[in-house]
Amino acid sequence: MVRGGMRGQGMMRGPMRNIRPPFKKTFVPRHPFDITLTDNFQKTSASVLDDSALTSALLKRNQDLTPTQVEQTNLANLVTKTQLVLDNLVVAAGDFNTCQLDEVRQVGSFKKGTMLTGHNVADIVVILKTLPTNEAVEALSKKVEADLKNAMKTEVVTKGEQITITLNDKGFDISNAVARVRVLISTLHQNIKRLESDIHLDPMVMHSNLAAIRHTRWFEENAHHSSIKVLIRILKDLRNRFDAFVPLSPWMLDLLAHLAIMNNPNRQALPINLAFRRVFQLLAAGLFLPGSAGITDPCEPGHIRVHTAMSLEQQDICCMTSQTLLRVLLHGGYKHILGLEGNTSIVREMSVWNGVTVRPLQPVYEPPTDKKDGEVDDMETVETEGFAEEETE
């Protein structure tokens, strides 16, 4: 359509100008309903729950999931020795010239203080100045092994403390009978474009390991509150026990716990019982569904929503399971959710709580059958997936 209309009834002379482009639907993500941020709902005495039992159960579960002092000490000893050897290679590599180290950083759950008992694993990212070839990683692992064994000559080493080195596609592992340190190899950002698949480590792995450093730095600056660490540990345990939460990466759980505890009108940390319930309320309301604003990754450019790393089916199952568990939680079934009693069958089978029957919900997502190649659903958005480090929890 020509702005101002067409002059006369005859044929237009010259090219058409000022033609409005065809209407294009704009995707506007929405925040799901969050009662914590809403002051319009007047709370009555009947709506105020007595959460003393829930709070005690959460603290008990956290205590059960927290590594013992012996576990932490064993892992800390191996981390300290490994860090010292790697730091020495950064400062003074000596005759080792197969690769050059630029920086060594601790990352992951051990560094954040959110490690689970039984998972005695710590992560260290090594950034190389040189390109990360397979031969260079193997040579570095042998050098670290030799330096560690040389440093331990003056110590009384038991059989359980003898170290072994294992290569993998991300770097190499240093382990003994009681602990393991994963050395994750990366390189300078400007080197990643020069990597070749048949010679060097996977570029996506390099990106992921660099992202792990950003995640840990952000966590130390913004999520150091003890309640956040307690909630993260509990959410990791839920992820291990409920299949629907497996697609949630450790980074997603970190951000979800931080949101549930710190994002409120008072900007003060919510009690653990309120934050725990809020997690299920947010997920059940569609926090990680298509069309939701979700949680923006604070460590990646471009306003990436972290839940877009999940498939549409995974998002649906996560929301569906959260809705079922929220109903169980509101009727007093928190012990089954926390794993103190019962099992995970409550999301698959009908259960009764104080005379109230809770029937598990069914998925609503149906995979498209007639969508053409390259066509995008209305609720989908084309986004670049954020990077998230992988942990053992």
| Rounded distance between C-alpha atoms, residue 244 and residue 231, angstroms | 18
Residue type, 368: P
- Crossing angle of helices 312-330 and 272-284, in 10° steps, is 130
> Helix/strand/coil (H, E, C) string of the chain?
CECCCCCCCCCCCCCCCCECCCCCCCCCCECCCCHHHCCCCCCCHHHCCCCHHHHHHHHHHHHHHCCCHHHHHHHHHHHHHHHHHHHHHHHCCCCCCCCCEEEEEEEHHHHHCCCCCCCCEEEEEEEECCCCEHHHHHHHHHHHHHHHHHHHHHCCCCHHHCCEEEEECCEEEEECCCCEEEEEEEECHHHHHHCCCCCECCHHHHHHHHHHHHHHHHHHHHCCCHHHHHHHHHHHHHHHHCHHHCCCCHHHHHHHHHHHHHCCCCCCCCCHHHHHHHHHHHHHCCCCCCCECCCECCCCCCCCEHHHHCCHHHHHHHHHHHHHHHHHHHCCCHHHHHCCCCCHHHHCCCEEECCEEECCCCCCCCCCCCCCCCCCCCCCCCCCCCCCCCCCC
| Rounded distance between C-alpha atoms, residue 99 and residue 102, angstroms | 10
Give me the domains of the chain, ranges plus CATH numbers.
Answer: 69-220 (3.30.460.10), 224-386 (1.10.1410.40)
Beta-carbon neighbour count of residue 335 at 10 Å? 14
| Rounded distance between C-alpha atoms, residue 146 and residue 95, angstroms | 13
Global confidence as pTM: 0.86
| Burial category of 319 from C-beta neighbours within 10 Å (exposed 0-12, middle 13-18, buried 19 and up) | buried
Contact (Cβ atoms closer than 8 angstroms) between residue 365 and residue 278: no
| Rounded distance between C-alpha atoms, residue 151 and residue 141, angstroms | 15
What tens-digit pLDDT sequence spans the chain (393 residues)?
Answer: 444 444 444 444 555 555 566 656 677 788 899 888 886 665 544 444 568 999 999 999 999 999 999 999 999 999 999 999 999 999 998 889 899 999 999 999 999 999 999 999 999 999 999 999 999 999 999 999 999 999 887 775 666 678 899 999 999 999 999 999 999 999 999 999 999 988 999 999 999 999 999 999 999 999 999 999 999 999 999 999 999 999 999 999 999 999 999 999 888 999 999 999 999 999 999 999 999 999 999 999 988 999 999 999 999 999 999 999 999 999 999 999 999 998 889 999 999 998 999 999 999 998 888 655 544 444 444 343 444 455 544
Contact (Cβ atoms closer than 8 angstroms) between residue 320 and residue 362: yes
Print burial letters for 217-244: b (CB count within 10 Å at least 16), e (below 16).
ebbeeebeeebbbbbbbbbbbbbeebeb
Work out whether the CA dihedral 311, 392, 259, 284 comes out positive or negative.
Answer: positive
| Rounded distance between C-alpha atoms, residue 142 and residue 149, angstroms | 11
